[in-house]
Chain A
Amino acid sequence: MACVACEWTRTPIRALAILGIAGLIGTAHSLRTPIQLELKGAAPEPSLAPAPTGPGQSDPASPREETLGVRITLDQARRLYDSGEADFIDAREPHEFQPGHIPGAYNLTQADFLGGKTPEALEFLDPARRVVIYCGGGECHASENVAILLQQAGFTSIHIMEAGFPMWVEAGYEVEASSADEPEGNG
């Protein structure tokens, strides 16, 4: 007969051994494989030089006049939208994107990068141009995650519109809808 008491004594020891082995392998794996959990630094400012509208003057409304960090306000995002200096990326899920989004925005979620794949929308985006990413606002992490993935894909001028889409709508700015069979990026 098998020793029942021995079995129950051995079980927790073996369970701890499994956890220990997994812990060691996992720790070693984490040292060999870098992952990024936070955005790297501030976005470079390739176009910070004032854009003069006349001799010695500049347009005070132009976003070129101010230093834009990674996180930007609704007003700053709106100025980039008006000036056409940036591509907009909606990081919400497709079922949230389709009923309403910023006109011309591409729908790009972190799931589109699953398995190290390059999303189709990246073919239409220029890594050297500014991109403004937004999600549902508040505490949503989707924008930040997509921003990290875009940094890894070589994008250098990334901004996050912290207010999110709800504040864009609340401000009375333009919104467009798209159907499910339309391409996810319509910029």
Chain B
Amino acid sequence: MMTNGSCCATGQRACPAIGIGAVALLALRTFIGGVFLYAAAVKLQDPQQFAFAIRAYRIIPDDALHLVTLGTFIVPWVELIAGALLVIGLWGRASALVATGLMAFFVYAVWSVIARDLSITCGCFGKLKGPFGCEGPIGACKLAENLTLLASALALTAFGPGSISVDSLCRRKAC
């Protein structure tokens, strides 16, 4: 529990109550941020494999391979920055909005793979499983996993990072 001495004693802002909601938002942020950080680390460690994974989705045409190259490096950096910001709760809503956009795109990609009956693996977490432990080619499990992450990111965008965050600390200190 935060004591009054850490913020309210300054007389600038009222100290927000740290209730179960704030703890839930912290847990949600840590969960999504952690998943993003891990996924980014796997992709940045082996960009060649991620490039293959992007091609396997067959969303980008073969005559636009430069987009595959850009996606190979930009997507993990978006995940890394958004994930780090989510974990610490800085620019919480904005990073949650970015996570929402990214997850919406991933949901579309997974849905399109299922709709086209492609037999490919996700390429999201290297050889390890995601939070749902989905195995094998992309299917309903991966879609459910991505929809859960999308819903979580959307909730964070709506509710913000909560009172246990750098954003909240900054507001209290008017930084």
Q: A and B: partners?
A: yes
Using a CB–CB cutoff of 8 Å, the interface residues on chain A facing chain B are 2, 7, 10-15, 17-19, 21-23, 25-27, 29-30, 33, 35-38, 110-111, 113-116, 136, 139, 141, 145, 148-149, 152
**B44, B45, B46, B80 — which one has the most chain A CB atoms within 10 A of its CB?**
B46
Name B's interface SS: helix
CA–CA, A75 and B2, complex, Å:
75
Instruction: Please indicate the chain B residues that have their CB under 8 angstroms from the CB of A139 in the complex.
Output: 58
Flag whether B130 is at the interface (Cβ < 8 A). Answer: no
Structural contact, B76 and A114, CB atoms closer than 8 A: no
Given contacts A19-B78, A22-B77, A29-B73, contact A115 B47 (CB under 8 A): no
Instruction: Please indicate the chain A residues that have their CB under 8 angstroms from the CB of B49 in the complex.
Output: 110-111, 113-114
Instruction: Please indicate the chain B residues that have their CB under 8 angstroms from the CB of A7 in the complex.
Output: 93, 160
Q: How far is the CB of B54 from chain A (nearest CB, A)?
A: 9
Can you list 23 A-B pairs, Cβ within 8 angstroms, ordered by A?
Answer: A12-B97, A14-B91, A14-B93, A14-B94, A14-B95, A17-B94, A18-B91, A18-B95, A22-B74, A23-B77, A26-B73, A27-B70, A30-B69, A30-B70, A30-B72, A30-B74, A37-B65, A37-B68, A114-B46, A136-B119, A145-B52, A148-B48, A149-B48
Flag whether B34 is at the interface (Cβ < 8 A). Answer: no
Structural contact, B70 and A18, CB atoms closer than 8 A: no
CA–CA, A116 and B95, complex, Å:
31
Using a CB–CB cutoff of 8 Å, the interface residues on chain B facing chain A are 44-49, 51-52, 55-56, 58, 65, 68-70, 72-78, 80-82, 85, 91, 93-95, 97-98, 101, 119, 121, 126-127, 157, 160, 171
CA–CA, A38 and B62, complex, Å:
10
Chain A residue nearest to B90 (CB atoms) is: A14
Structural contact, A26 and B77, CB atoms closer than 8 A: yes
Instruction: Please indicate the chain B residues that have their CB under 8 angstroms from the CB of A114 in the complex.
Output: 46, 49, 126-127
